[in-house]
Chains A and B, each alone.
Chain A
Amino acid sequence: MKGVLTYIHRDFVKWIRYRVGLVSALVLPAAWLLFVGLALPVQFTGNYLDFITPGILVMTILTTGISSGSLLMFDKILGYLNKFLAMPVPRESILVSKILFITVRGIIQTTIILIIAVLIGATILNPAQYGLTYLILFLFGVFISAFSTTVALYLDDHDSFAAFTAMVTMPLFFTSSALMPYDVMPGWLRAIARVNPLSFAIDAIREVGTGTIPVLSITMLALFAAVVVVISGHVFRKVTV
């Protein structure tokens, strides 16, 4: 546990010291929200801001999470990983620390979005609803960061990994329920959106907004996250013998 915290602390300090990255990480999602939520002249539903915010929250977790596999990859390519692996600290702490750091970093970014959303007119939810929203975002974050880290361990070079990131992010986002409700989607898009893991998290947060507790969705997300974490651990052990 001490190892995990030390590793997280290391990545955290590096993150906040890397100014450009920090600013873009915070400004980009906010810009999305302002642009899509306010400026876009479409109105599918009553309060489009309330509708779009869950999509932007999940997209933020997706974009910051999916590229973060490079954190472990760079540690590996540049030799830090070998230094850490030669220490008597449980080896899995490195993997756990990366997944937690990436997820928590995403949660910090989404908090900023939640605040801006309220400032520009989204409905204020009660504390329990925010708690559930965070839980969903956390589970989705663990799912995405473990997935990304596993792919990075497999691919092992940053160019193919960058290609992978680009290939996954946009299609996933535009074929999800982020931007429009299912009933206005063309049939083919609806079919894809229904099975898109992104929609899963987005729909769950929307349900929370309407006052219900999406037990099934949360259980499913937890299950997905658990499965990917186990696979990730397996790949990590295989790569580090």
Chain B
Amino acid sequence: MSAIQTDDLTKNFGSLCAVDGLTLEVNREIFGLLGPNGSGKTTTVLMLTTLLSQTKGSAGICGHDTVREPDRVRSCISYVPQDMAVDTNLTGRENVLIFARLYGVPNPKDRVDELLAVMGLSDRADDLAKTYSGGMRRRLELAEALVHEPEVIFLDEPTLGLDVGARKTIWDHIHALNRKGMTIFVTTHYMDEADQFCDRVGIIDHGKIAALGRPSELKARLMKDVITVVVDGDYSPIQIEGTLLIGRSGDEISFTAENGREALPVLADALSRAGNRVRAMSLREPSLDDVFLQSVGRQEEAQGFEEWRYRMMLRGRA
């Protein structure tokens, strides 16, 4: 029995296909669903957490169907939405206590103390949550999600809007939970995080899985080195043996080659001969960004930002 299993999971909003035939199996690992804004990550998570019904296909969590046995599913999962929903006019302790009571855990007060300690919030537990930093709010939400010791935990963009240090802390906690046997399903549009912290990733674009596997495997499908070129003006395409175009992102064009140091001068030469004005070139190892670029093409501008700002503004009023 898998922690998460989906079969042809599909969601249409009118004529828009937000999630398109997702077939996936996740087990006792940190699985990262990776994709730009609007690619269908949240929609997928909502279906898996019984918050949205699918148009087609099925999903099972710990052997229970999300549509036929939603209550069974809800008992073995936790869901932390991307909105950072903590009651800011309640203290940290009060926030977690609500969840302990709702889940009906025995000795809720002790359980809350224990979790606040795990998340490093004990000394601030009785301050109002509105005085917490973004990272602390996220840790508070993790504490809430852990009160009933779920088998599977869903985190939608857990590091969105956090600074580097806070992100690292959140990922450390995620790792610790996974070591205790929990399955973690996490979405993010930060490729570097997924690369570093996920056991396996699925790259999703326009609702479809474009690549699936361990980050190291996915990167190994590219050649050993990546050369990034910045050109002024239009780019005239070139074709040379031994180097392969990965794709374009803005004014950057990326190529992959077996031996980057040798390919670099050849490439520079070929580019100028084709009439390109090369402004800069750099050589590095492949990253998940490159895998993404190759599997789905040009990376789009983030668009979810304004909505995020709007929610943050509203939060002050609630």
Contact = CB atoms under 8 A, between A and B. Distances in A.
Interface string B77-111: 11111111101011000100011011110000000
B90 A10 contact: yes
A80 B80 CA distance: 10
B85 A78 contact: yes
B50 interface: yes
A3 interface: yes
A163 interface: no
Contacts of B83: 78-79
B75 interface: yes
A101 B41 CA distance: 35
Interface residues of A, number: 25
A13 B87 CA distance: 11
Nearest to A14: B89
Contacts of A86: 49-51, 74, 77-79
B57 to A, nearest CB: 16
Contact of B85 (A2, A3, A79, A158): A79
Contacts of B103: 87-89
A111 interface: no
B102 A6 contact: yes
B102 A14 contact: no
Interface string B43-73: 0001001111100000000000000000100
B314 interface: yes
Nearest to A84: B102
A18 interface: yes
A82 to B, nearest CB: 5
A223 interface: no
A162 to B, nearest CB: 12
A70 B80 CA distance: 23
A31 to B, nearest CB: 24
B206 interface: no
Interface in B95-135: 98-99, 101-104
Contacts of A85: 50-51
Interface of B: 46, 49-53, 71, 74-75, 77-85, 87, 89-90, 94, 98-99, 101-104, 144, 311, 314-315, 317-318
7 contacts: A2-B102, A10-B98, A77-B311, A82-B46, A86-B50, A89-B102, A89-B103
